[in-house]
């Protein structure tokens, strides 16, 4: 299936493993220029190698904690410098730890909010 993504730049957040990595692989198969992003540099290196093995295409990657606005800004700048622009943004992140409502203090709630909502808003604004 072709979606006309050849030459388009796709930035996939939290793409060192799991759903983000799988989505990145599908975009690579469609001919997109993919930029992987995540907190762990080694994990991103392994993901890029795995995706290269599966698709024959090597994605770029950048370490980034998406809950930190300055790192997210740097990530988008990196993708734009390497590819000219970001055409598609895939907002993806892990979730807060499992548990009941009353198990978490304000710090845990703030962290979950920053990870699963505010980071997406910031990425879209960039």
Residues 6+ apart with CB under 8 A from 86: 9, 10, 11, 35, 76, 79, 80
Tens digits of per-residue pLDDT, 29-65?
999 999 999 999 999 999 999 999 999 999 999 999 9
Tens digits of per-residue pLDDT, 93-119?
987 778 898 899 999 989 988 998 999
Q: Which residues pair with 90 in a beta bridge?
A: 12
CATH topology of domain 9-125: Rossmann fold (3.40.50)
Within 13 Å, how many C-alpha atoms sit on residue 6's CB side? 3
């Amino acid at each position: 299936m072709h979606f006309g993504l050849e030459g388009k730049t796709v930035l996939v957040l939290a793409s060192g493993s799991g759903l983000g990595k799988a989505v990145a692989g599908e975009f690579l198969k469609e001919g997109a220029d993919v930029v992987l992003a995540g907190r762990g540099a080694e994990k991103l290196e392994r993901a890029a190698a795995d995706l290269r093995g599966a698709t024959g295409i090597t994605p770029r990657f950048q370490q980034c904690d998406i809950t930190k606005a300055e790192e997210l800004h740097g990530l988008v700048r990196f993708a734009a410098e390497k590819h000219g622009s970001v055409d598609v943004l895939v907002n993806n992140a892990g979730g807060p730890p499992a548990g009941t409502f009353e198990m978490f203090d304000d710090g845990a709630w703030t962290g979950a909010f920053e990870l699963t909502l505010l980071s997406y808003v910031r990425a879209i604004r960039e």
